Amino acid sequence: MLKKTRVVASIALFSLITFYFLDFTDLTSGKTLNLLVKIQFVPAIMASSLIILIILIALTLLFGRAYCSSICPMGIYQDIIAWISKRTAKKKKRYKFSKAKNVLRTSMLAATLIILLRFPLIVGLIDPYSAYGRIVSNIFRPIYLAGNNVLEMIFTRFGNYTFYRMDIFIMSVFAFAVAILTLGIVGYLAWKHGRTYCNTICPVGTVLGFLSRFSIFRIRIDKSKCNSCGACEMKCKAACISSKQKTVDNSRCVDCFNCLNACRRNALHFSSNNNKQLTVNNEASERNVDNAVAGKSVDESKRRFLTTGIVTAVVVPAAIIEDRVNSLTGNDGKESYERQHPILPPGSIDTKNMLKHCTSCHLCISKCPSRVLKPAFLEYGLAGMMQPTMYFEKGFCNFDCTVCSEVCPNGAIKQLTKDEKHLNQGGHVVFSREICIVQTEETNCGACSEHCPTQAVTMVPYKDSLTIPQINVEICVGCGGCEFICPVRPFRAIHVEGHAVQGQAKPFEEQEKEEKEIEGFGF
């Protein structure tokens, strides 16, 4: 019963959260599904959501690491992989008790805490929610869109326009590589050993594991009934049951309840602390485990694996050919021009706030309807790799849209109202008149002004009937409409320069509405 509840809850949550990342229509625009990402542990810490943290801690103190089995999407992903691995294995798959890697766990946690403020990249890399978000955004989503396009092709052929085509592209080679690596490594570990990631690397697992030692409800072994047959141990994907010692390491148990049904003697219970015999046993077991760890050092192969993993993750980007997307325009139209400063998503206040709070789950990027957000390469420096940055290759930031600020669970992009968004200045327009085609070709254009929602770019008389852009930086919000549409190549005649600190644009002056009486047709 417990197991069934767990499985149903997990699958429901996993599907919803995955769909939330995948969906590109209005279906998931409400606040309901957003709650699923807001209750994730690391985002709650990042956003300092005390209520959510208290609830999660209370949940753990009550029932142990139910979070890891039913709320964390990465945890559920591993369960799915482990389940497939078990179903497809030729030989019967058995898990075996392994000693807790407490030194590794604690040092990962300590490292996480120390670097929390300094290197969000690392937190973002190992935070299970963000890592899963990136996997969906960078790998599953393109596949989902491809599926949509196949359906669209079929339906459109029969004159049904329920589906519409979506442009599929890899937003960032680096983020894609990281997502593939994460998917592969975590998947491999789950395939081979079950919940290894959760009990060695995952900082959330370590924190909750520490708390779950004290949980009221937990898996307990009735020593008098147990005959050390090992059936439960074989089923334990957290490798935390020692059938020989008749102990359960509750700091690693993720409440999957697979062991309960495995026991033929009914010696396992998920129960509260009311059996003295069990309590004594369990406490003894914890001591044993602790002693064992203190006595023996960390597993060499795992350490090697970890070091290699992190080194690869940091070195690979350096080897990847530099992203050329940022080359925009030249001051004289010949040289490529690098943005002096990247453009932050509207509402992210400043680079510091972004670096401090964002763990690169890429939810904002997946949800952006205008496709102006992509994972940064080195725009924010090494520490800000994969955090969202604005670019205007695929579109420009819709004036009225506040989606990214609404979905961000980390408080990295603060929620904006439509009116606040209208004045949020993330950058300012820069015009290179000498390469503008109105000057070079002497033809009408005005594409930039056309796309400017505040008329920070207006067309003023130039020669004959020609008009040329004139900019007013004060009322510019940095939406990138002008940069997106500018037809001048290879370098654009108009672009947006980012601000390290987002400012306030001046509201544009409203003209008075004239009441014009028009009597005749005029022709």
Task: Please give the residue ranges that form the binding site for another protein (CB under 8 A).
Answer: 26, 159, 161, 164-167, 369-370, 395, 398-401, 437, 441, 443-447, 449-455, 458-459, 465, 467, 485, 487-489, 508, 510-514, 516, 518, 520-523
> CB neighbours of 87 closer than 8 A, spacing ≥ 6?
none
Closest separation between CB of residue 511 and another protein, Å? 5
Nearer to another protein, 29 or 245 (CB): 29
CA 201 to chain centre: 18
Closest separation between CB of residue 467 and another protein, Å? 7
Closest separation between CB of residue 512 and another protein, Å? 6
Other residues' Cβ atoms within 10 Å of the Cβ of residue 91: 5
Closest separation between CB of residue 518 and another protein, Å? 5
Nearer to another protein, 177 or 403 (CB): 403
Nearer to another protein, 254 or 445 (CB): 445
Closest separation between CB of residue 153 and another protein, Å? 9
Closest separation between CB of residue 404 and another protein, Å? 14
- Cα torsion 315, 316, 317, 322 to 10°: value is 120
Closest separation between CB of residue 141 and another protein, Å? 17
**DSSP label at 140?**
I
Q: Report the DSSP pairing between strands 424-431 and 494-504.
A: antiparallel
Closest separation between CB of residue 401 and another protein, Å? 8
Measure the CA angle with vertex 38, ends 35 and 40; round to 5°: 120
Cis peptide before 317 (omega within 30 of 0): no
> CB neighbours of 246 closer than 8 A, spacing ≥ 6?
221, 223, 226, 228, 281, 285
Closest separation between CB of residue 66 and another protein, Å? 39
What is the rounded CA–CA span in Å between residue 442 and residue 462? Answer: 9
What is the rounded CA–CA span in Å between residue 446 and residue 469? Answer: 7
Nearer to another protein, 370 or 424 (CB): 370
What is the rounded CA–CA span in Å between residue 217 and residue 65? Answer: 10
Nearer to another protein, 373 or 452 (CB): 452
Nearer to another protein, 167 or 300 (CB): 167
Residue 439 tokens read as: 């000057």
Closest separation between CB of residue 480 and another protein, Å? 13
Nearer to another protein, 243 or 370 (CB): 370
Is 459 in contact with 515 (CB distance < 8 Å)? no
Q: What H or E segment, with its residue span, contains residue 219? A: strand 218-221
What is the rounded CA–CA span in Å between residue 412 and residue 349? Answer: 8
Task: Supply the DSSP string of 40-104, one letter for each residue.
Answer: SHHHHHHTT-HHHHHHHHHHHHHHSSHHHHHT-HHHHHHHHHHHHHHHH-SSPP--------HHH
Nearer to another protein, 39 or 401 (CB): 401
Per DSSP (E only), the strands in 388-518 are 388-390, 424-431, 457-461, 467-471, 494-504
Nearer to another protein, 75 or 469 (CB): 469
Closest separation between CB of residue 396 and another protein, Å? 9
Nearer to another protein, 43 or 469 (CB): 469
What is the rounded CA–CA span in Å between residue 454 and residue 311? Answer: 47
Nearer to another protein, 295 or 520 (CB): 520
What is the rounded CA–CA span in Å between residue 478 and residue 456? Answer: 10
Is 24 in contact with 210 (CB distance < 8 Å)? no
